Structure 1
């Protein structure tokens, strides 16, 4: 989906993917960087519909405590 021009002009632009990933990692909410087709820079979005979001890895799962018969 192409970013609308009005949305592109209102959003913060990041020149590199690393800059966008760093900004997303330091945010207080979950954000995902993407490359804008209009300006060719990177923006951040909170939308995840249709995107694969990695599940967090847990050291201890509920089945780890149970002994095998």
Structure 2
């Protein structure tokens, strides 16, 4: 498992819960997914989806 860089964590918006981050991800105009940061313990958003679980298309349409 790759650790999140401290500099990456510091510049990203933090969300206290996965549902809060997911709400923002679903409203975005680009595909995003939330992930739990191993540095701060909160959630960030990423556009990287290679090899990761992505949101189903019907969830993005809601």
In structure 1, the gaps of 5 or more residues are 58-69
**Other-structure match for 2:22:** 21
TM-score, scaled relative to structure 1 = 0.74
Runs of 4 or more, structure 1, over 2 Å off, are 52-57
Root-mean-square deviation (CA), in Å? 1.5
Asked which structure has the greater CA Rg, the reply is 1
Deviation digits for residues 13-66 of structure 1 (CA, Å, limit 9, x no counterpart): 000111000010111100000000000000000001111436647xxxxxxxxx
Q: 1:23 to 1:55 in 2, by over 3 A?
A: closer
Q: State how many pairs are aligned.
A: 57
Unaligned runs of 5+ in 2: none
Instruction: Give the conservation status (yes or no) of the 8 Å contact 2:33–2:55.
Output: no
